[in-house]
Amino acid sequence: MTGCIPVVFNSDIRYPFSNLFSYREFTVVIEAGVLLDSVSYTHVVYDILNQIPHSDVIRLQRNVNTVAKFMQYGAYSFGDDAFTTALRVLQTL
């Protein structure tokens, strides 16, 4: 996830750790209906992504880098990875 902004094509998904992270802060959501109404999915996606202001891209990338370590298993030796994040969620139940 190093700087890559996830693009999601459905806003009705229940994301892992959604009680800890606001996915809108580090993802781009393109509603599936937008794609279904077009002839060329590729051009629609490209146009939507190309219209995102550079300042928003920088903000999304910064936020991706902040949450990335909590979504990777065994990536960090200090316990800040997906396993310990899952344990934190379980402790709140």
Domain range annotation of the chain? 7-68
Quote the pLDDT of residue 16.
Answer: 79
Calculate the alpha carbon distances from 17 to 4, 71, 90 in Å: 19, 9, 10
Quote the pLDDT of residue 51.
Answer: 95
CA angle 61, 58, 76 (to 5 degrees): 25
Could you report the per-residue pLDDT of 39-85, keeping only the tens digit for each? 777 788 889 999 999 999 999 999 998 888 777 776 555 667 777 77
Judged against a pLDDT cut of 70, whether residue 1 lies above it is answered with no
* Neighbouring residues of 11: CB distance < 8 A, sequence distance ≥ 6: 29, 31
**Nearest CA-CA partner of 66 in 12, 10, 16, 3:** 3
**Band of pLDDT at residue 2, cut at 50, 70 and 90:** low
